[in-house]
């Protein structure tokens, strides 16, 4: 079961990344930096925050606290003149690569070992769940914002409205098929 969980966690994280990638690809660069109001984050801020979190949590995952002293979390929520689509994508890719590298090195017996996040002990299994929920939360925010900025030209990332029956017709008995355009 542990081996199955690890494979599934990696697959789900790849799916979250893919959803984020496809949402980000649909927006113009200027929309990356738009904020809805003073309490909102831009897509750029969310990307920097996710990259910072992934790098901090998953670098040296088994041996050091997941909240690295070198991380400047507050800077992730500020726009900087050097922020461009290219620089944001580089950070985004580096964060996700760090996560996948750490997850792919794990063995089933590692799931019950203890790691720390902000000096709080938790099992590797708990840390994976925590990371997946964090990624899903912020990828969902990115999708919502991207969909808002793209408007009627939005290309659905799942089953488009009005296509549920068509989707169901394409699902094979006993199997699962994700929507593909």
**Domain residues of the chain, as ranges?**
2-170
CATH for 2-170, among 3.30.160.100, 1.20.120.450, 3.10.450.710, 1.10.760.10?
A: 1.20.120.450
Q: Which residue has the higher pLDDT, 102 or 168?
A: 102
Task: Supply the mean pLDDT for the chain.
Answer: 93
Structure tokens at 22: 């496809």
Mean pLDDT to the nearest integer, 71-89? 95
Q: Which residue has the higher pLDDT, 21 or 172?
A: 21
Predicted pLDDT of residue 175: 58
Predicted pLDDT of residue 163: 84
Angle made by CA atoms 163, 151, 53, in degrees to the nearest 5: 95
Q: Is the pLDDT of residue 61 over 90?
A: yes
Predicted pLDDT of residue 176: 56
Predicted pLDDT of residue 181: 40
Q: Is the pLDDT of residue 28 over 60?
A: yes
Predicted pLDDT of residue 172: 59
Instruction: Give the long-range contacts of residues 1-7, CB within 8 A, separation 24 or more.
Output: 2/108, 2/109, 2/111, 3/108, 5/108, 5/111, 5/125, 6/103, 6/106, 6/108, 6/111
Predicted pLDDT of residue 33: 97
121 in Cβ contact with 67 (< 8 Å): no
Predicted pLDDT of residue 174: 59
Q: Is the pLDDT of residue 178 over 60?
A: no
Question: What is the rounded distance in angstroms from the CA atom of residue 144 to the CA atom of residue 20?
Answer: 10
Predicted pLDDT of residue 173: 61
Using CA atoms, how far residue 156 sits from 19, 23, 104, 122, in Å, is 10, 9, 30, 37
Q: Which residue has the higher pLDDT, 90 or 163?
A: 90
Which of 75, 70, 20 lies closest to 48, judged by CA?
75
Angle made by CA atoms 1, 55, 94, in degrees to the nearest 5: 100
pTM over 0.85: yes
Mean pLDDT to the nearest integer, 129-138? 97
Q: Is the pLDDT of residue 118 over 60?
A: yes
pLDDT bin (cut points 50, 70, 90) of residue 180 is: very low
């Amino acid at each position: 079961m542990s081996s199955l969980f690890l494979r599934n966690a990696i697959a789900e994280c790849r799916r979250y990344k893919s959803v984020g990638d496809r949402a980000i690809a649909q927006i113009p660069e200027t929309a990356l930096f738009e904020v809805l109001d003073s309490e909102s984050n831009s897509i750029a801020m969310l990307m920097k925050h996710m990259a910072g979190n992934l790098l901090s949590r998953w670098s040296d995952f088994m041996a050091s606290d997941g909240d690295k002293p070198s991380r400047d979390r507050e800077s992730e929520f500020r726009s900087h003149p050097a922020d461009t689509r290219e620089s944001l994508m580089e950070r985004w890719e580096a964060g996700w690569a760090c996560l996948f590298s750490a997850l792919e090195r794990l063995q089933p017996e590692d799931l019950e070992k203890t790691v720390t996040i902000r000096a709080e002990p938790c099992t590797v299994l708990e840390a994976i769940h925590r990371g997946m929920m964090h990624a899903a939360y912020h990828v969902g925010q990115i999708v919502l914002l991207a969909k808002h900025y793209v408007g009627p030209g939005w290309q659905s990332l799942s089953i488009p409205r009005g296509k549920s029956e068509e989707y169901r017709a394409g699902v094979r008995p006993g199997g699962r098929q994700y929507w593909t355009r």
